[in-house]
A and B are shown apart, each in its own frame.
Chain A
């Protein structure tokens, strides 16, 4: 069974600083995808970034990058130059891909609340 662990219930960062949100995962499959979603106080789920298990380079999307360490089974999100609008809940999620039997189902971590201070 898959499991996602986010050990930081809350994180604080100063505006314009970088912050790393931790995510570790557990799976027995070789083929899987890792995601980060942002959930602002308004409640919607906003897709941020994706990393495939066979991708050799770390994914980047603007100010977001995913620090993927396969051997350690970690997929940390790095937000550079934090902005006040980055204050939100952040979820790490995983989708197994092996054999097509995952049917796209996502397993989520518990989330990390990020607060950006001016």
Chain B
């Protein structure tokens, strides 16, 4: 199993551009999450999904959108990127066991 994979690893985006961060898991987990981590801070939840076709907002959803058309994929869309969205983005999945599995992260700079 590859676990949770994220692409790209790094990206530089210009202000006002849009992009999609990809997340795929091969563990057949129903629950998936997007977190962001600002420098020197803990992770904050952006969006989450409890299954294909079901998504909901987390603590910091503004400026982002998600979709979940399959169990495996949970892409995060940034529309009209702003410098405040410069962050490291982590995707995670969970199968109601105690551990949440994290991807390696995407380091995004908006400039």
Contacts and interface: CB of A to CB of B under 8 A. Distances in A.
Interface stretch (B17-25, B64-72, B73-81, B100-108): B100-108
Interface in B11-62: 31, 33, 35, 40-45, 48, 50, 56, 58
Given A43-B105, A44-B105, A91 B99 contact: no
B42 A111 contact: yes
A25 interface: no
Contact of A50 (B98, B105, B107): B98
A108 B90 contact: no
Main secondary structure on B side of the interface with A: strand
Given A103-B48, A104-B33, A109 B99 contact: no
Contacts of B31: 103-104
Contacts of A91: 42-43
8 contacts: A4-B42, A35-B99, A95-B100, A104-B96, A105-B33, A105-B58, A106-B43, A109-B42
Interface of B: 31, 33, 35, 40-45, 48, 50, 56, 58, 88, 90, 92, 94, 96, 98-100, 102, 104-105, 107
